[in-house]
């Protein structure tokens, strides 16, 4: 009992944002990591048992943390339809709010993002055929000549990425992308989004094309965010002013302030949580992956974030 009280006191000094992508077995072919439905449910019970009370990202960002109990936020990336089928019944049961960071082009199964296309291409293509295809496309798409297949594929310049993936898809995948989307429906439909919103789920930004923003120019990042917002508002949803960096790859820290001002964002979210993070005035928030660690202990939630903060402070000298 005393240990439980001590845990709560230690954890009440910060407010982590726990996030995940996929729950259950659906969409595993687009996002291989993920949590089983049971693990996700047990993970939330574990966090509640540690003493966390869940609040929405909007509320957490709007006011300073009230000391006395640990507070946390739950978020999901990419907008897979498992959020409706698997996640909603569980968060409803525990009355946990959720923020979903949506990829603009994937809303309502209108398109696959380039990283999803690459995963499917790798699934269907023979390694040596794919390597030959990359060599034949090397000059056209400015691909590196050496390195692993993944490295060569993911090095495609941002402005070419969809065209490049579409070309490989047509060579190696057995059905068209339209057929794949119509059959599998991997992303949330508008009806599902509406039902989630009726429960209280909120939507936020995750870029329009799931771009690696660390490789984009400032105008390109702004363009990704404008298109992402437009896609959500055209679909009838008002996105929260928060942006989760795809792959956790952040833009240069020097751009954050202007980016938030120019695109009306309150904060951007990465994936490297330190004990000093997630305060209302901060432009950069950080998250903790439940897929990497579904049952975090004091070590992951208290010690590691402090060591990380210390390491970052020492690296400044
Ligand atoms: Zn993502």
211 CA to centre of ligand 1 in angstroms: 9
145 CA to centre of ligand 1 in angstroms: 27
58 CA to centre of ligand 1 in angstroms: 20
3-state helix, strand, coil in the chain (%, to 5): 50, 10, 35
- b/e sequence 60-96, b meaning 16+ C-beta within 10 Å: bbeeebeeeebbbbbbbbbbbbbbbbbbbebbeeeeb
78 CA to centre of ligand 1 in angstroms: 5
Chain CA centroid to CA 252, Å? 18
Which of 69-73's residues contact partners 24+ apart within 8 Å by CB, and which partners?
69/8, 69/12, 70/8, 70/11, 70/12, 70/14, 70/15, 71/12, 71/15, 72/15, 72/16, 72/17, 72/18, 72/47, 73/15, 73/16, 73/17, 73/18, 73/97, 73/99
- How crowded is the C-beta side of 11, counted as CA atoms within 13 Å? 25
Quickly count: other Cβ atoms within 10 Å of residue 283's Cβ.
Answer: 14
pLDDT in tens, 147-173: 999 999 999 999 999 999 999 999 999
Query: What pTM does this model have?
Result: 0.94
d(CA 97, CA 99): 7
176 CA to centre of ligand 1 in angstroms: 23
207 CA to centre of ligand 1 in angstroms: 9
- The predicted structure's pLDDT at residue 66: 64
Which residues of the chain are modeled with pLDDT < 50? none
pLDDT in tens, 252-301: 999 999 999 999 999 999 999 987 788 888 899 999 999 999 999 989 99
Q: Helix, strand, or coil here: 94?
A: helix
- The predicted structure's pLDDT at residue 101: 98
- The predicted structure's pLDDT at residue 67: 63
Record the tokens describing residue 247, joined without a space. Answer: 């792959």
102 CA to centre of ligand 1 in angstroms: 8
């Amino acid at each position: 009992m005393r240990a439980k009280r001590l845990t709560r006191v230690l954890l009440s000094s910060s407010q982590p944002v726990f996030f995940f992508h996929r729950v259950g077995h659906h969409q595993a072919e687009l996002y291989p990591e993920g949590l089983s439905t049971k693990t996700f449910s047990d993970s939330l019970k574990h966090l509640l048992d540690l003493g966390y009370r869940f609040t929405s990202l909007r509320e957490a960002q709007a006011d300073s943390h009230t000391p006395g109990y640990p507070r946390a936020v739950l978020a999901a990336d990419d907008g897979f339809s498992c959020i409706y089928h698997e996640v909603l019944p569980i968060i409803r049961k525990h009355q946990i709010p959720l923020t979903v960071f949506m990829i603009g082009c994937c809303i309502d199964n209108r398109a696959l993002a380039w990283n999803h296309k690459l995963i499917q291409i790798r699934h269907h293509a023979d390694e040596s055929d794919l390597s030959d295809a990359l060599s034949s496309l090397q000059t056209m798409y400015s691909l590196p000549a050496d390195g692993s297949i993944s490295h060569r594929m993911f090095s495609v310049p941002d402005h070419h990425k969809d065209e490049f993936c579409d070309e490989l898809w047509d060579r190696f995948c057995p059905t068209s992308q339209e057929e794949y989307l119509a059959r599998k429906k991997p992303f949330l439909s508008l009806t599902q989004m509406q039902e989630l919103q009726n429960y209280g789920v909120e939507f936020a930004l995750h870029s329009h094309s799931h771009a690696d923003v660390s490789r984009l120019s400032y105008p390109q990042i702004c363009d990704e965010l404008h298109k992402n917002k437009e896609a959500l508002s055209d679909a009838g949803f008002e996105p929260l002013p928060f942006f989760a960096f795809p792959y956790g790859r952040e833009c240069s820290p020097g751009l954050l302030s202007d980016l938030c001002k120019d695109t009306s964002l309150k904060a951007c979210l990465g994936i490297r949580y330190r004990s000093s993070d997630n305060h209302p005035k901060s432009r950069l928030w950080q998250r903790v992956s439940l897929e990497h660690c579904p049952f975090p202990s004091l070590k992951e939630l208290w010690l590691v974030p402090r060591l990380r903060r210390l390491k970052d402070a020492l690296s400044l000298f």
